[in-house]
Amino acid sequence: MTDLRDQTFLVTGANTGIGKETVRVLALRGARIVLAGRSAEKTKAAIDEITAETGNARLDHLPLDLGDLTSVRAAAQQFLDSGERLDVLINNAGLAGKRGMSASGFELAFGTNHVGPFLFTELLRDHVVASGPGRIVNVASTGHYRAKGIDWEAVRRPSVTRTAFDEYCVSKLANVLHAQELGRRLEGTGVTTYSLHPGAIASDVWREVPFGLRHLMKLFMKSPAEGAKTSLYCATSPDVADETGRYYDNEREKQPSSVVTPELAAELWERSEKWVAEG
């Protein structure tokens, strides 16, 4: 358990599930942690609980709604204005099982799980580079294997499938592609990137799934504590310090979907840049 007292971590979606367990372990290791999320009340409760358990009071809340690009810009600016270093950004927040559109005009899962995190990362990445050797971690999903590609028109329309699971899988494919292209663009800067599957986890990401189905699903899932292991591995392990742009599952590198190509990653990046410039 490496001592992390000299490092600052920013974790999105950190007041519940995998994010909360990730913060708990980082706090035990002495890290300074900023928990980014929508609910100040839930985040304060998580901070109080983790501080009481670990004795680490170096935890703060950063207001952030990833579905709203105005909120994303405000959150990034608030962090930059603090003057704090940023060693590791963990894009953990995710949404599944809900249909609709994001506040910024994207299919709900795609807007929340990819477009918002893409902009947030772009606004903070130079600061991660300036802070010294650092890491950027995208929590994706094995669901990305289900996606056959990205329909560029569909991601600008409301969800069409009944459970929005197919749309969720496309957003997770985007997480893997984003980490790959970001790793290429940051090569030589000392900042490395990662995407990962945390496992099928009984976390709050499924909060929008109808109660009966949600309860049944969770019976067959791992705990959030188990789910945090690969996030922590990618964020802190010296074993992967020199690797970048790769995909991990169960604390091991794994070959991503055949759809994950440099060409698609580059196209997604170019389109994402245009989307956030417009939004």
Provide the annotated active-site residues. 168
What is the distance in angstroms between the CA of the first residue and the CA of the last residue of the chain?
A: 42
CB 209 within 8 A of CB 163: yes
In this structure, is the dihedral angle defined by the CA atoms of residues 130, 262, 268 and 141, taken in order, positive or negative?
negative
Distance between CA atoms of residues 72 and 62, nearest Å? 10
Residue 162 CB neighbours (<10 A): 8
Distance between CA atoms of residues 58 and 3, nearest Å? 14
SS3 category, 273? helix
Distance between CA atoms of residues 179 and 193, nearest Å? 6
Tokens of 221: 């899932």
- CA–CA distances in Å: residue 87 to residues 9, 13, 125, 235: 6, 18, 10, 10
Name the DSSP class of 201: B
CB 132 within 8 A of CB 6: no
Tokens of 255: 């070959």
Q: What letter represents residue 131's amino acid?
A: S
- Write out the H or E segment, with its range, that includes residue 61: strand 59-63
